Chain A
Amino acid sequence: MTRLKMAAHLSYGRVVLNNLREAARKELREFLDKCEGSKAIVWDEYLTGPFGLIAQYSLLKEHEVDKMFTLKEGHIPPAEVKNIIFFVRPRLELMDIIADNIRCEHKHHGPPRDFHILFLPRRSLLCEQRLKEQGLLVHFTHIEEYSLDLIPFDSDLMSMEAESAFRECYLENDQTILFSVAKGLMTLQALYGTIPQIFGKGECARLVANMMLRMKREFAGTQNQILPVFDKLLLLDRNVDLLTPLATQLTYEGLIDEIYEIQNTHVKLPPEKFAPKKQNESGRDLSNEPKKLQLNSAEELYAEIRDKNFNAVGSVLSKKAKFISAAFEERHNAKTVGEIKQFVSQLPHMQAARTSLANHTSIAELIKDITASETFFDKLTVEQEFMSGIDTDKVNSYIEDSIAQKEPLINILRLVCMQSVCNNGLKQKVLDYYKREILQTYGYEHILTLNNLEKAGLLKPQTSTRNNYPTIRKTLRLWMDDINEQNPNDISYVYSGYAPLSVRLTQLLARPGWRSIEEVLKMLPGPHFEERQQLPSGLHKKRQQGENRVTLVFFLGGVTYAEIAALRFLSQMEEGGTEYIIATTKLINGKSWIKSMMDKLEPSLF
């Protein structure tokens, strides 16, 4: 019952992403059943978060998983189980830990056990070779892969939760993740039919499309006979739109993420504003433990407000509050037994709604404290100036002052990068000034981080004299002066004025098509392209009158919640005609994104 509820929200959307989840669960069960008898799982810690969205402990328990441990060197804690299964990403350093575990087991002549490895999402010869070199490969009964590439996060959202995808692709020229993207898309197509049209912009997009077409040839013969659910696939490189993630998201969900960081749909919040769960428990001091909440569309209220501009959230919450208290007042009107019964039957739902309202009112208060502050306002003003093209070519005094006051480095980097992007690079003098300021203030070790940002194109000297950002901004209408935060009529509401470039490209693809913006597309990095995939005859969709098209937008290198909100806004536009499903390598925000590109150097002590 609870399990059904856990994933119910995945079934509401236009595309039933729960099928993807079920397929993943099935694969998992099949693997677990291969290892007969009781088992313990040793986890690569990074995997537990995303994995929780596929299967909870209950499922594992049903398949005789008695114990779970975190992968670390030394002994595996004692457990009376027949099987030890390592759930790991294919990384050499993890192989060394596993090797260490196995050696410890042997040294101490533990009870005879079967060892297995489950690689997520792909097994790797390199890793197996590593174990082989140490003579340990023979100890494993099953070495398999669990191709969990795309994990459903919500009814319209999938993520691979590959932390360093952007860094690997754009800094290190390691396109391993793109192979997984292509594989994931093949899995998706196996479940939801061949996607007839593929569009893309960017080098990585091109590579992924090539791989998909290639893989399709590999699978030739096993023709997919499923009626296509998706009409289009749009592959977008994150480096086509470096600007958007740098901007502070102003939607409710976006702000929660900016401030508290949403991890695998969960968020940890400071507990002060939340009432203790039960009055009688208030004696125990729980107030130091952060409040943990799951945020997804399963919660009705959250689904309603998550994508709104934060300035529009308050009114909804107060409306809801009135509505709920009115509903509770209804009990006074309930006279007959029937009426009372009716009221009581609605109680659980109403109580849930009340809890939900209380939670979100608290969260909104927490956020309001921050957004109402002068520092937040000042920073936002600078961001908006940059994005609308004001004074992007000289040293910004706010940034200067912030450095002087040693604001957190990530905030500084975010702003400097934004200025560079909005000016299509900074004058060498300006750039060197910022860099020097940063290195002198935060430490010379950040030279590598700055180098990384330069490699990624986030920070660069102006090469051509011409700054093409204004052209891009104007053609794509990236800056909208009149915005309506309460009842938006354009995607720019998500950043209170700035319309995310990535989403604008998506919008223009649907109507009137990219041909109208060829010039701008050429200014953005990487090729743009269109591919068609032949459908078996008889699978061509006959569209019902008024039926929307479904487009899968895949962000290679990460997507922000505000961009998701903008796409959802487009899905809901009446005249839009297109519904969007979103997939990405990782859900990001400016902070986590910049962080992924930083090189942390710590001096050895002496």
Chain B
Amino acid sequence: MAFVTASWNPFGDVFYRKFNLYSDWKMKEDLSNCLIAAAPYAGPIALMINGSHKERSPSLRPIMEIYSSSGNRIVSLPWKSGQVVHIGWTTNEDLLCIQDDGTVLIHDIFGTFKRHFSMGNEVLQNRVVDAKVFPTAYGSGVVILTGAFRFTLATNIDDLKLRRFPEVPGLLRPPTCWAVLMQDRQPKIVLATGKDVYVLDNASCTSVIPPGLGPQVCGFTQIAVSFNYKKLALFTDAGNIWMGSSSFKDKLCVVETNFKTAPKQFVWCDRPKSDNPTVVGIWDKLLVITGKTKETIKFYQDEDVHLVPEIDGVRIISSSNHEFLHEVPPACQDIFKIASMAPGALLLEAHKEYEKESQKADEYLREIKEQNLLFEAVQQCIEAAGNEYEPEMQKSLLRAASFGKCFISNFPPDTFVKMARDLRVLNAMRDYIVGIPLTYPQYKQLTIEILIDRLILRRLYPLAIRICKYMKISELQGASRILAHWACYKVQQKDEPDDSIARAINHKLGDTPGISYSEIAAKAYECGRIELAIKLLEYEPRSGEQVPLLLKMKRSQLALLKAIESGDSDLVYTVVTYLKNEMNRGDFFMTLQNQPVALSLYRQFCKHQEPETLKDLFNQDDNHQELGNFYVRSSYSNETTIEGRVAALQSAVDEYNKAKNEFAAKITEEQIKLLRYQFRLQKESGKTYLDLSLHDTVQALLLDSKHKQAEQLYKDFKIPDKRFWWLKISALAEKQDWEELEKFSKSKKSPIGYMPFVEICVKHRNKYEAKKYVAKVSPEQKVKGYIMVGDLEQAVETATERKNENELNIILSKCTAATDQSIVEKINRAKAQILKK
């Protein structure tokens, strides 16, 4: 095992190791001369070369370069903007370049400019002297230190809210060192000026004293905050390192170094659950690891290096090397430690012997089994495999685990399978082309979902999809999402024609669940490709998404069409309202004319809200029938004078005529005639006649015994005889004018027969009068008539004459046994007679 442990450096009970992430790493630049920023989680590295030169000569224009973690130069561009003070990566792997005027420029990983924002106007005068980018619970934050030694901070650059932190009393120079902390989701700044340490937050500035430091301290020159913001380290000008909690409540240790100068870089080298956190400092080319053990580890580097703290160690970047320094994880220590008797170590040994076909394999196995530790042994090998970087080593550990598994019945397979899968993904990520050399703990912390985002960011769509499928991530979360991003990228390819892009996108995406074509279209629109956006929107099934974008692109006609297709009236109204404000009235009406659904909806709207517009609409399309109706309606609801009403009705007549609706025209004319007549009557008699129907008017006249006028109306309005007779007899009966009624009945042959006379008398409880008319009733109804007036005798007689059994039965049903005994007998006799024949 000497081979594995060769690079291990003991540090107390544990070991530290440092290894090359990529063997053929090469960065051309001399790191001493540039701003450098590397994103955590094996992210990209950005350089701003010559960036620190204050004087700007054109020949020395800074150059921005971005490398992948595998040393692949992604982009190199001359910097054309202002003086950059600091560069840093956001959690989404966007590069922030903070300029001394407070402007922050955002570029993506490919160096494409995305947007910029400002850290406030007050910076303009004082300039930015220093800045930092830091991860927060909400995303990424930025803090700047101004020339007036004030801090301004934003916790989320995507939802920019600037907070100006309070002044630090007596701060006349820039602080000697400072760092950002997140505590309870709140950002704080720790700063040191001389021997004073302050914690700044939104509202206050608190002086703190790191516990357990001797009085000899004159000043703090460096500060380091751990990856998780929980720990803090300070370097004093006396060469001491204070390590403790970031709340300054607990001290971890104070280590003495012999360095009097501050280290160039000072970072934590930690891992989750470690008992032995350490800090790493660089003095020139010397890298020193210190911690609570008295020992230190020192590495001499050949060139300038840059340290990148990670969750489980530190990346060390130089021009010719990209290394990773970390505490050897416990499982690996257990297995590979010299002379280790840990079950995992024995299992690995056993498997090696087994490969060699040596019986020693059995001995080792036995030894593990005797201690009943085979389960642990397998677990250990699996875990160690995850923490080894070299695929060969991973394989031999996994093979050992797999070998050990054979001797355990029912070993749950998932840990093994999961690890094998994860390692395949990790090894694929570490590939030179991809360049994301994640360690297993980093990967677990980052999660597969975010890892896929990072692949999408790097436009490695096919790989991302393959991984999703391999890791069985749901379509919605995986493939669909990636395809959507692919499509969004695709629409930005300016050299391809709209048609082929739209087709290519639809071909790939089809009806894949969860794809939002409108989002892709929005992207296309953003890139100024309206036609492409429209083509893409064709594929969008959700009209609710389609329509607003179309409106935004000023394709209101199309938006209207889509809104109508959706069947969602609200959407149609939205477009119509938009059109109404956007177009002149004529064009607006024309547009509606071609869209009957929209037109009807708009009519509905107008009917309640803008009746006048409704009229214009009908006018526009020569809808005379509706115009006629409109005037009729308005004669009721708008007009308050007789002239007004007549005028409105006259307009209605005209329109009905134009609509060739003869009936309506004529009947409306008739209405006008009646109105005028009623008005006259009303004036003459002082009684209300207006708005009675013709029928009611005649009735009112009859009741007032104005028979002549009634007659007049009957003739003028050509009331059918039948109805007039009905009218007259009911009016007379109501007045109890029986004499007149009788006279009327004899005036000529009744067009309605005489049954109504009987009925109306009975209705007004006058059977005596009723009886007068029964004789005249037609034979079919005579029996009914007699029953009605209560003359059952006559009824029976008539029915018997008519030999109508049915009628006899009806009479029978009206008889009561007590009073009508004789009639019952008669009926029975008559019935018998009919039967006989």
Name A's B-contacting residues (CB within 8 A). 90, 92-93, 122-126, 129, 168, 172-176, 178-179, 182, 207, 210-211, 214, 217-218, 220-223, 400-401, 403-406, 432, 435-437, 439-445, 447-448, 451, 599, 601-606
Are B570 and A444 closer than 8 Å at their CB atoms?
no
Tell me how far the C-beta of B589 lies from the nearest C-beta in chain A, rounded to whole angstroms: 17
Residues from chain B with Cβ under 8 Å of A178 in the complex: 567
Are A444 and B541 closer than 8 Å at their CB atoms?
no
Among A125, A173, A218, A440, point to the contact of B573 (Cβ < 8 A). A125
Residues from chain A with Cβ under 8 Å of B632 in the complex: 445, 447-448, 601
Tell me how far the C-beta of A490 lies from the nearest C-beta in chain B, rounded to whole angstroms: 28
Are B695 and A217 closer than 8 Å at their CB atoms?
no
Q: Does B691 contact A (CB under 8 A)?
A: yes
Complexed CA–CA distance, A436 and B662 (Å): 12
**Binary interface profile of B, 242-273, with partner A (CB < 8 Å = 1, else 0)?**
00000000000000000000000000000000
**Binary interface profile of B, 653-690, with partner A (CB < 8 Å = 1, else 0)?**
00000000001100110110010000000000000001
Residues from chain A with Cβ under 8 Å of B480 in the complex: 221
CB-contacts of B705-728 with A (<8 A): 717, 719-720, 722-723, 726-727
Are B608 and A92 closer than 8 Å at their CB atoms?
yes
Complexed CA–CA distance, A436 and B726 (Å): 17
User: Smallest CB-CB separation from B649: which chain A residue?
Assistant: A444
Complexed CA–CA distance, A178 and B513 (Å): 26
Tell me how far the C-beta of B493 lies from the nearest C-beta in chain A, rounded to whole angstroms: 27
Complexed CA–CA distance, A90 and B571 (Å): 13
User: Smallest CB-CB separation from A168: which chain B residue?
Assistant: B604
Residues from chain A with Cβ under 8 Å of B691 in the complex: 443, 603
Among A124, A404, A435, A599, point to the contact of B723 (Cβ < 8 A). A404
User: Smallest CB-CB separation from B573: which chain A residue?
Assistant: A126
Q: Does B475 contact A (CB under 8 A)?
A: yes
Residues from chain B with Cβ under 8 Å of A217 in the complex: 511, 541
Are A126 and B636 closer than 8 Å at their CB atoms?
no
Q: Does B641 contact A (CB under 8 A)?
A: yes
Which 9 residue pairs spanning A and B have beta carbons closest together?
Answer: A221-B513, A404-B726, A173-B600, A217-B541, A176-B569, A444-B671, A443-B693, A441-B695, A601-B636
Are B671 and A175 closer than 8 Å at their CB atoms?
no
Complexed CA–CA distance, A124 and B691 (Å): 40
Q: Does B514 contact A (CB under 8 A)?
A: yes
Among A223, A439, A602, point to the contact of B636 (Cβ < 8 A). A602
Residues from chain B with Cβ under 8 Å of A602 in the complex: 636-637
Residues from chain B with Cβ under 8 Å of A439 in the complex: 667, 671, 693
Name B's A-contacting residues (CB within 8 A). 475-476, 480, 511-514, 541-542, 565-571, 573-574, 577, 596-597, 600-601, 603-605, 608-609, 625, 629, 632-633, 636-642, 645, 663-664, 667-668, 670-671, 674, 690-696, 717, 719-720, 722-723, 726-727, 730, 752, 756
Complexed CA–CA distance, A399 and B727 (Å): 15
Complexed CA–CA distance, A604 and B364 (Å): 108
Are A444 and B726 closer than 8 Å at their CB atoms?
no
Are A175 and B608 closer than 8 Å at their CB atoms?
no
Are A405 and B569 closer than 8 Å at their CB atoms?
no
Q: A93-B608, A174-B601 are in contact. Are A451 and B567 (CB under 8 A)?
A: no
Residues from chain B with Cβ under 8 Å of A601 in the complex: 632-633, 636-637
Sample of 11 A–B contacts (CB below 8 Å)? A92-B609, A122-B570, A404-B723, A440-B693, A440-B694, A440-B723, A441-B693, A444-B671, A447-B664, A447-B668, A606-B640
Among A123, A174, A599, A603, point to the contact of B600 (Cβ < 8 A). A174
User: Smallest CB-CB separation from A212: which chain B residue?
Assistant: B567
Tell me how far the C-beta of A87 lies from the nearest C-beta in chain B, rounded to whole angstroms: 18
Are A220 and B541 closer than 8 Å at their CB atoms?
yes
Complexed CA–CA distance, A159 and B601 (Å): 24
Among A122, A214, A223, A440, point to the contact of B717 (Cβ < 8 A). A440
Residues from chain A with Cβ under 8 Å of B625 in the complex: 451
User: Smallest CB-CB separation from B717: which chain A residue?
Assistant: A440
Residues from chain B with Cβ under 8 Å of A605 in the complex: 640
User: Smallest CB-CB separation from B640: which chain A residue?
Assistant: A606
Are B727 and A404 closer than 8 Å at their CB atoms?
yes
Q: A432-B663, A441-B695, A442-B693 are in contact. Are A90 and B570 (CB under 8 A)?
A: yes
Are B601 and A221 closer than 8 Å at their CB atoms?
no
User: Smallest CB-CB separation from A96: which chain B residue?
Assistant: B609
From A90, A221, A444, residue with most partner B Cβ within 10 Å: A444
Complexed CA–CA distance, A217 and B638 (Å): 49
Are B567 and A207 closer than 8 Å at their CB atoms?
yes
Residues from chain A with Cβ under 8 Å of B512 in the complex: 221
Tell me how far the C-beta of B617 lies from the nearest C-beta in chain A, rounded to whole angstroms: 13
User: Smallest CB-CB separation from A175: which chain B residue?
Assistant: B567
Residues from chain B with Cβ under 8 Å of A92 in the complex: 605, 608-609
Residues from chain A with Cβ under 8 Å of B568 in the complex: 179
Are A175 and B723 closer than 8 Å at their CB atoms?
no
Q: A441-B695, A443-B691 are in contact. Are A604 and B566 (CB under 8 A)?
A: no
Residues from chain B with Cβ under 8 Å of A174 in the complex: 569, 600-601, 604
Residues from chain A with Cβ under 8 Å of B633 in the complex: 448, 599, 601
Tell me how far the C-beta of A604 lies from the nearest C-beta in chain B, rounded to whole angstroms: 5
Are B609 and A604 closer than 8 Å at their CB atoms?
no
Complexed CA–CA distance, A605 and B642 (Å): 10
Are A405 and B609 closer than 8 Å at their CB atoms?
no
Among B511, B629, B719, point to the contact of A440 (Cβ < 8 A). B719
Residues from chain A with Cβ under 8 Å of B670 in the complex: 440, 444
Among A210, A223, A444, point to the contact of B667 (Cβ < 8 A). A444
User: Smallest CB-CB separation from B545: which chain A residue?
Assistant: A218
Complexed CA–CA distance, A172 and B602 (Å): 11
User: Smallest CB-CB separation from A176: which chain B residue?
Assistant: B569
Residues from chain A with Cβ under 8 Å of B608 in the complex: 92-93
Q: A218-B542, A404-B723 are in contact. Are A448 and B629 (CB under 8 A)?
A: yes
Among A401, A441, A603, point to the contact of B694 (Cβ < 8 A). A441
Q: A175-B597, A447-B667, A606-B640 are in contact. Are A221 and B695 (CB under 8 A)?
A: no
Among B476, B541, B596, B663, point to the contact of A218 (Cβ < 8 A). B541
Are B693 and A435 closer than 8 Å at their CB atoms?
no
Tell me how far the C-beta of A571 lies from the nearest C-beta in chain B, rounded to whole angstroms: 31
Are A179 and B667 closer than 8 Å at their CB atoms?
no
From A178, A207, A403, residue with most partner B Cβ within 10 Å: A403
Residues from chain A with Cβ under 8 Å of B690 in the complex: 603
Complexed CA–CA distance, A129 and B674 (Å): 46
Tell me how far the C-beta of A73 lies from the nearest C-beta in chain B, rounded to whole angstroms: 16
Are A210 and B567 closer than 8 Å at their CB atoms?
yes
User: Smallest CB-CB separation from B480: which chain A residue?
Assistant: A221
Are A126 and B694 closer than 8 Å at their CB atoms?
no
Residues from chain B with Cβ under 8 Å of A440 in the complex: 670, 693-695, 717, 719, 723
Tell me how far the C-beta of A557 lies from the nearest C-beta in chain B, rounded to whole angstroms: 16
User: Smallest CB-CB separation from B760: which chain A residue?
Assistant: A405
Are A451 and B723 closer than 8 Å at their CB atoms?
no
Complexed CA–CA distance, A431 and B756 (Å): 25
Additional A-B contact list (10), CB under 8 Å, known A442-B693, A604-B638: A176-B569, A179-B567, A211-B566, A220-B541, A221-B476, A432-B663, A440-B695, A444-B668, A447-B667, A604-B636
Residues from chain B with Cβ under 8 Å of A435 in the complex: 663, 667
User: Smallest CB-CB separation from B572: which chain A residue?
Assistant: A176
Q: A214-B541, A221-B475 are in contact. Are A606 and B600 (CB under 8 A)?
A: no
Residues from chain A with Cβ under 8 Å of B600 in the complex: 172-174
Residues from chain A with Cβ under 8 Å of B726 in the complex: 401, 404-405
Among B511, B565, B752, point to the contact of A401 (Cβ < 8 A). B752
Complexed CA–CA distance, A221 and B691 (Å): 63
User: Smallest CB-CB separation from A605: which chain B residue?
Assistant: B640
Residues from chain A with Cβ under 8 Å of B542 in the complex: 218
User: Smallest CB-CB separation from B671: which chain A residue?
Assistant: A444
Residues from chain B with Cβ under 8 Å of A406 in the complex: 695
Complexed CA–CA distance, A320 and B307 (Å): 94
Tell me how far the C-beta of B521 lies from the nearest C-beta in chain A, rounded to whole angstroms: 16
Complexed CA–CA distance, A214 and B544 (Å): 12
Complexed CA–CA distance, A342 and B159 (Å): 73
Tell me how far the C-beta of A280 lies from the nearest C-beta in chain B, rounded to whole angstroms: 38
User: Smallest CB-CB separation from B571: which chain A residue?
Assistant: A125
Tell me how far the C-beta of B763 lies from the nearest C-beta in chain A, rounded to whole angstroms: 10
